[in-house]
Amino acid sequence: MPYVPHTSADVERALATIGVSSLDELFADVPDALLDPAIDLSEPLDEVSLLRRVDELARRDHTTGPMFLGGGVRSHFIPAVTPRLAMQSEFVTAYTPYQAEVSQGVLQSTFEFQTMMSELTGLPVSNASMYDGASSVAEGALLAVRQTGRETVMVSRGVHPESRQVLQTYLWPLGIAVEVIDLDGLVTPEPVVGDHVACVIAQTPNFLGALEPMAAIGRAARDAGALLVAVVDPLSLAVLASPGSYGADVAVGDGQPLGNPMQYGGPSFGFMVVSDALIRQLPGRLVGQTVDVEGRRAFVLTLQAREQHIRRSKAKSNICSNHQLAALMATINMAALGPVGLREMAEGSVRWAHRLADALEAAGADVVRGARFFNEFVVRVDREPHEVRRALSRRGIRAGVGVPAEYGFGHAITLAATELTRQDDVDALVKTLSDRSLLPAHAGVL
């Protein structure tokens, strides 16, 4: 018998308290497609048949071949040492290090992560990771609202659409207004920031791949007493200016490029690094270094402002778990590669992205790129992006993240290249996109 903690009387009393007559009325605003979706399941299978079916499905996935997917998740080289060490049982089975005296290993690895993220972003204080890049953007906005006492957030349309959706989800129930800054071409113009704005959020490289004028955006924010929340690709910081160097108050983003495989889009981890002035507003965990009673170096959770530790009304966030294991993989990965290795990966990504864009333009593609881009750019195509992506997949090529209509490019996709891209991959993509037999109903994609 399933465990159901509430009796019928409990449910009726709860409904009466909130003033609705039934569960149907309570969920009336939820679309039927979400409330009671049709689920087309096959007949039950025995274990042997089920395993065969799973193997058949697994073989349908192309695990090799050209890869040009981006849009926030990319394929990068991960040294064998990264998963080997991260999968040690003491890390995989570890949970929140509440008892510092028996958790020194986990605490030290977290402290090392914070140190590396601080060095990478040029800001002094990092937390111990967050759920993902999108929620770290939203938490950065909430931090700015707490710090400034203002209740309007400005966000560039260049910020990933999914991050903006999460931002809206976080802020709407709190009555915090969100103003979207439209792009001028591919980049964010210097915004006009009023004294009611808590922060300006901009992403570089932005969703379209272009590098934003972050210093100018930051000046506009500071002149109005607002904070600059910089959404950054951590790998790009191996070759681009750090958020600290152009005056960002908060740096956030998704850490997937630092050593986590693509694995169907997750799990990954988010990060947040802030200036000294904002340390008391930092959500999540923070590991600090101290000494024990015998004077030896030791590590502890410090400045604990999570809702588990202090009064909920005073807490900086309701985030109760971080993505510690995914962040640990990034820590090991960065230590294994070092500054030189990270720079070589970033430079390789830039080099191959520009080679790919040049090759597509030579083949007649409508490439949309600004004067400066990191490793991703936009290409206009002559049909729905999902059709292009499926057609490429049939040829063993994984490419083509659709560009939403809000950007005004019509049918368009983004393509990303990394240090793993090779000339054969570029040639295969160009040939396939130029092939008139790709989709018989049309005369080619380019």
Mean pLDDT of the chain: 90
Among candidate residues 332, 356, 382, the one where a domain is terminated: 332
Q: Are 159 and 185 in contact (CB under 8 A)?
A: no
Q: Does 344 lie in the same domain as 324?
A: no
Among candidate residues 279, 302, 332, the one where a domain is terminated: 332
pLDDT of residue 427: 96
Q: Does 347 lie in the same domain as 417?
A: yes
Asked if residue 136 has pLDDT above 60, the reply is yes
Q: Does 262 lie in the same domain as 209?
A: yes
Q: Does 309 lie in the same domain as 204?
A: yes
**Gap between the Cα atoms of 111 and 288, Å rounded:** 7
Residue range 275-281: average pLDDT? 93
Q: How confident is the model at residue 400 (pLDDT cuts 50, 70, 90)?
A: very high
254 falls within a domain: yes
User: Considering Cα of 340, then 343, then 349, then 352, what sign does the dihedral take?
Assistant: negative
According to DSSP, the β-strands at 152-156 and 177-181 are parallel
> pLDDT tens-digit profile of 46-78?
999 999 999 998 888 766 789 999 999 999 999
Q: Does 199 lie in the same domain as 270?
A: yes
251 falls within a domain: yes
Range of the domain at 292: 81-332
Q: Does 256 lie in the same domain as 345?
A: no
Q: Are 199 and 181 in contact (CB under 8 A)?
A: no
45 falls within a domain: no
Q: Does 358 lie in the same domain as 224?
A: no
pLDDT of residue 441: 43
Q: Does 310 lie in the same domain as 234?
A: yes
Q: How confident is the model at residue 227 (pLDDT cuts 50, 70, 90)?
A: very high
Question: Which residues in 399-411 are b (16+ Cβ under 10 Å) and which e?
Answer: bbbbbeeebebeb
Q: From 286, 324, 307, select the one nearest 131 (Cα to Cα).
A: 324
Phi-psi region of 312 (alpha: psi -120 to 50; beta: other; left: phi over 0): alpha
Among candidate residues 280, 305, 332, the one where a domain is terminated: 332
pLDDT of residue 315: 65
**Gap between the Cα atoms of 414 and 437, Å rounded:** 22
Q: Does 423 lie in the same domain as 279?
A: no
> pLDDT tens-digit profile of 298-354?
999 888 755 556 666 666 665 656 688 999 999 999 999 999 999 999 999 999 999
359 falls within a domain: yes
Q: Any idea what the CATH number is for the domain that residue 230 is in?
A: 3.40.640.10
Q: Are 106 and 97 in contact (CB under 8 A)?
A: yes
Q: Does 383 lie in the same domain as 251?
A: no
49 falls within a domain: no
Q: Any idea what the CATH number is for the domain that residue 420 is in?
A: 3.90.1150.10
Q: What percent of the chain has pLDDT over 70?
A: 92
> pLDDT tens-digit profile of 298-312?
999 888 755 556 666
Asked if residue 32 has pLDDT above 50, the reply is yes
**Chain-centroid distance, C-alpha 144:** 19
pLDDT of residue 443: 42
- Residue 415: strand pairing partners: 377
Q: Does 275 lie in the same domain as 346?
A: no
225 falls within a domain: yes
- As for how many domains the chain has, the answer is 2
Asked if residue 93 has pLDDT above 60, the reply is yes
Give the contacts of 214 (CB within 8 A, at least 6 positions apart). 202, 204, 228, 230, 241, 243, 246, 248
Q: Does 420 lie in the same domain as 347?
A: yes
196 falls within a domain: yes
253 falls within a domain: yes
Q: Are 120 and 234 in contact (CB under 8 A)?
A: yes
